[in-house]
Amino acid sequence: MNPQNGASALDDFLRARPFNVERLHAAYQRRQLRPSEVVAYALALARDSEPGLFTCLLEERAVAEAQASDARWDAGRPLGPLDGVPVVWKDLFDVAGTPTTGGSETRRHAQAATVDATAVQRLAACGCIGIGKVGLSEFAYSGLGLNPHFGTPINRASHDGHRAPGGSSSGSAVAVAAHMAWMGLGTDTGGSVRVPAAFNGLVGFKPSIGRFDKQGVFPLSKTLDVPGPIAHTVQDCAWVDAALRGQPLQALKASDVSLLSFVVPINLVFDGIEPEARAAFEALVERLRAAGAQVNYRNIPAFDELAAITARHGTIAAAEAYAFHQTLVDGPEAQAVDRRVLARMARGKTMSALDLLTLQAARTRLVQECAALLGDAWMLCPTVVHIAPLVAPLEADDELFHRVNLRTLQNTLPGNFLDLCGVSVPMGTGDAGMPLGALISGAAGRDDALLSAALGVERMLAGPGNDS
C-alpha cells in the first residue's frame, strides 16, 4: 500500500518511531519534511486503501491546506505543533461541500454540508490538514465497527484474518494505525473512541460531556455523545483537546505515578475476560504498585444499579436514537439499514416516558455518587475484556454479533452513563498478538488531571529508552 515513490526521507521517517506529532513537528522545524509531501504521501495511501476506510477524500482541500502550511513554515511562522499535521474525520462531522453519511446507505447522497463542524474549524485554525472522512458503524451504533454498506476497515494489527477494527469510530482508528493520519476524530456514546483505540493499539480520549462543542456533529444520543481524538500518544490527544477548546497548545506535564491512586472495580469489569487480557492487566497493576502508586480493588455500587435499571427500563441511547431516527425506523427505508443497527434502534420504540425519566433521574444521582466514591482517585480496568474478534463469524451469526458487541462495550458503557472522562492506553497484547488497552477514568470535569495521569502511566509503560 505504499506509494511508488522509491526511498525517501519520508519513507525513512514513517519506518522510524515514535510516530507522533512531536516528531513530525521537529521534522518540519529541521526542514527534513514539508507538509505538502506528507499530505501527498497520506493521500496516496488513502487512495489505495480498502473499501470502507474512507467515505470521502478531501484532496483539493488537503492540497490547499498543505500549501498554506508550507508557506507558514517557509516564513518561519507556523501556527503551532499541529501545523501541517494530517487528520481524518469520522463521517459524523460536517465538512463543507461533503455529505455527512453517518455510514448509512440512506445518507450516501445526503445534501452536502454548507459549513464545517466547530471541531473541524478549530483544528483547521491550528493548521491541521483534513485528509478525508472515514467509515464507522452505521449511525455510530455498534462497538465492533462492521459496516455492510461502505465496507469494514481492516484492523492492521491482525495477521490471522480480518479482525474487527472496533467501533463505532472504526475508520478514525484504522487510518491512524495505518499511518494515513496522525490523529483521527471520532465520537463516543458507549465506547466508540476507547474501543477502537484499544483494538488498534492506540490512545483514545473520551472527554467529559460538554467539554467540546458538538455543533455540526450528527447525533446518536444527544445526552451521551462526545467527540474525542484517537492518536498514537497521550500528548497528541492532549493537543487535540486544547485545540478543540480554543486553548493554547502546550506540552502536557506527566503526573508522578508514585503519587497516583487507582480504584479497580471488582464487579462487572472482569466478567468474561480472556486469560491473556487478565494477565496483561494484572501485570500493569503490579508495575503501578512497583512505581509507588496505590491500587485498591473494591466494589462500585453504581455498576450494579446501572445494570439493574437498564435491564428493567432500557437505555438512554436506544430511546434517543429511536426518537431521532423514528421516521426511518418505521418507514420503507428501514430495509436499507444494517439489520443489527435497526434492531438496536427499534428497542427504543418499546420504551415509555416513565422509562426514560427513570433513567435520567438515576443517571443524575449515580453520576454524583460515583464522583464522590472516586474523589481524586482514578478508576482502572481493561478497556475491553477480549481482543478484536474475527469478522467472518460475526457476519454469519446475528446472535453472536449482538452478544460480542455487548461484551465489547461492557467496560466502556458505564463511563458515558456516569459521565466519566476516560483515556484508553495500550497495555500489551493478547491472543494472536492483538493489542489490549487499559482504561483510566475519572469523575466529570477532571479531564486535565486525567490526561496528565494517563501520560504518566504511558511513560511508565514505555520504560527508559523506549520511545514507542
Determine whether 192 is an active site residue.
Answer: yes
Short-list 100, 42, 91, CA closest to 192: 91
Determine whether 133 is an active site residue.
Answer: no
Cα→Cα distances 119→63, 94, 95, 216, 282, Å: 20, 9, 10, 8, 37
Q: Is residue 464 within 8 Å of residue 229, measured between CB atoms?
A: no
What CA–CA distance (Å, rounded) separates 207 from 211?
6
Instruction: Collect contacts of 324-332 with beta carbons under 8 A, ≥24 apart.
Output: 324/219, 324/220, 324/222, 325/139, 328/106
The active-site residue, picked from 137, 168, 169, 452, is: 168
324's CB contacts (< 8 A; 6+ apart) are 219, 220, 222
Cα→Cα distances 425→19, 216, 252, 439, Å: 15, 28, 16, 7
The active-site residue, picked from 192, 221, 255, 441, is: 192
The active-site residue, picked from 90, 133, 206, 214, is: 90
Element (H, E) at 109: none
438's CB contacts (< 8 A; 6+ apart) are 281, 284, 380, 381, 382, 383, 424, 425, 426, 427, 457
Determine whether 90 is an active site residue.
Answer: yes
The residues annotated as belonging to the active site are 90, 168, 192
